[in-house]
Amino acid sequence: MNPAPSASGESPSPEGRPGNVAERVAGAAIVIASFQALAKVAGFLVKWIVSLFGRGRVADAYFTAENALGKAFQFTEDVMQPAFLPIFLKESQEAGETAAWRFARQVLGATALLATGFALAVILRPEIIVETFAKGFSPEKKALTASIVRMMFPALLFLSVSSITYVLLNGYKRFGIPAASDAVSRFSFVLLAAAGFCALGPRPHVLAAVTVLAALLRLGVQVWGLRDKREPLFCASEQSDRPSPWGPFLVLALPLFASFAVALLRDMTENRLAAAADEGTYATLRYTKSLWQFPVTFLPNALSIAMFPFLCEMYARGDRKNLEAVVRGALRYVLLFFLPATVFSLALREPLIAAVYGRGVWTAFDVSETARAFGLCAWGLPFFALEIVVLQTFYAMRTTWIPVAAGIAASGLQIALSIWGADASPFDVLGILALAYPATRALKNVVLLGILSHRIGRAGGKPDLGFYPRVALLTVLAGAAAIAGAALADRILPGVLGLPGPISCGHGSRGEIFRFARVASGFLAWAGAFVVLAHFLRIPEWREALAFARTRLGRILGRSPDAASPG
């Protein structure tokens, strides 16, 4: 069905526009990944600022408050967003943009009301958060956590509303603006935190206040991106006889809410076990997760954001063939890049941790423990990456109960493993908690991949079974190259820099140079081996990526696509 005309003359639907769907998704993913890479760089700077507090009392208190805010914000990210966009696009296609925006205004209002009410409750009674997320803290640490929570939680209103404006912009294929808003928010956090530390000293309350300002800037950038939608956004429209979209919305949202509640219970269990363990356990898990989550930004997260509105529209139009082809292609690209990236992360886990965190009050033991936790988490990277694409596909198909059931089962298993493991091995709670998360997520995603493969069928005939052994060979050889590159740096650089040997922390600027050069040496060896092997093994996805890059570059330089490609 063709979308009804709108007052603005624009519809979120891409029908009638030229261009191949896969190419458009890839182009959007590049834009999103570029901005999210900048946001992640800023995020590392944020973690570097927090790492000035080490792994002790202040870091535990700050990360508890930050985690609580993140979980509250995650309600709109995990429940409202996936349920909202398919219904918004369906309304736009079937009833027109005016009807879709009437629904959008209602969702924005409900989101703002819920966020404001919860934020006020937390500000008035921060001990609710402290007892929920950090029951094992000492009284002094609880008091510090409560004061940080009280200052930080006004940001919830801005973050929650911005999650809906974020997905609205994606629905109009304006992918760059919401992705840029994340980068603006993170870099503004870094600049404001640096200014605050210079003026007031390194205090966690400075970071709490800066969090609120950065969230406001994130929302401001997105509202600016919707400036041409002021009329449908702020002006009431006439009611219609069409059935309310809230029914289909709630059908999608309620299972997601159940999954969110169980996941929250899972995280609360992990937080309590970490808070009751050795000091620094909580902060170590946060440092670890922030690092392994970094590569997920570059492909699967950006790819899933770019895919989601297209998948929603393809499913609404009944375009099953294109939907199948886009999803299968995305999954293969994720495997091509993330299997080698996982081996790289595992092989260089201690050099990576040392380069990112090994300064200030950090000791060799701190680096070793964080690297151990990172290694226990990082093997699950391919499953974390695949999950993002798989979940978005289910949501676009307006099927939430299948991933919800799998998620609830995985969360329940993780809770059981964490409690049992912490009780059976109380001296290694960190290792138990670090391992339980990827193990249960891996099991969940194996099940979901099997179900999704059955539901979407095959696009384009039989799968190319030669893809998997070639990627496996590439993964092993590129990992070996990374180890060799780092080992070469360990052998040569200490003597050049006048160091006693390979060091994981301290030794001033010479130590910093060594730690970063060791990771750079391993990365360059890994990347070089990846490129050579991908070309030599003739992996189709790699060749397609190069052809796409040449075409895009040719367009940027003003050349025709034919001129931009060889032969």
pLDDT in tens, 530-556: 999 999 999 988 888 888 778 777 776
**Tally of helices (H runs) and strands (E runs) in the chain:** 23, 0
Say yes or no to pLDDT of 233 above 80.
no
100-104, 342-346, 560-564: least confidently modelled range: 560-564
531-562 core/surface letters (b: 16 or more CB in 10 A; e: else): eebbeebebebbeebeebebbbebeeeeeeee
For residue 239, the model assigns a pLDDT of 62
The DSSP letter of residue 463 is -
Is the model more confident about 308 or about 19?
308
For residue 236, the model assigns a pLDDT of 61
Question: How many C-beta neighbours within 10 Å does residue 199 have?
Answer: 8
Encoded tokens for 11: 């519809």
The DSSP letter of residue 516 is H
Q: What is the pTM of this model?
A: 0.77
For residue 16, the model assigns a pLDDT of 38
Looking at the chain, the whole-number percentage of residues with pLDDT higher than 70 is 90
Q: Mean pLDDT throughout 17-38?
A: 75
Sign of the dihedral defined by the CA atoms of residues 85, 91, 96, 97, in that order: negative
Place of tokens 């996805």: 541
SS3 at position 308? helix
Is the model more confident about 37 or about 149?
149
Do 87 and 107 contact (CB within 8 A), yes or no?
Answer: no
Do 392 and 248 contact (CB within 8 A), yes or no?
Answer: no
For residue 409, the model assigns a pLDDT of 94
Sign of the dihedral defined by the CA atoms of residues 317, 323, 325, 326, in that order: positive
For residue 502, the model assigns a pLDDT of 85
For residue 4, the model assigns a pLDDT of 40
For residue 234, the model assigns a pLDDT of 67
Q: Mean pLDDT throughout 325-348?
A: 91
User: Which of the four pLDDT bands, split at 50, 70 and 90, describes residue 272?
Assistant: confident
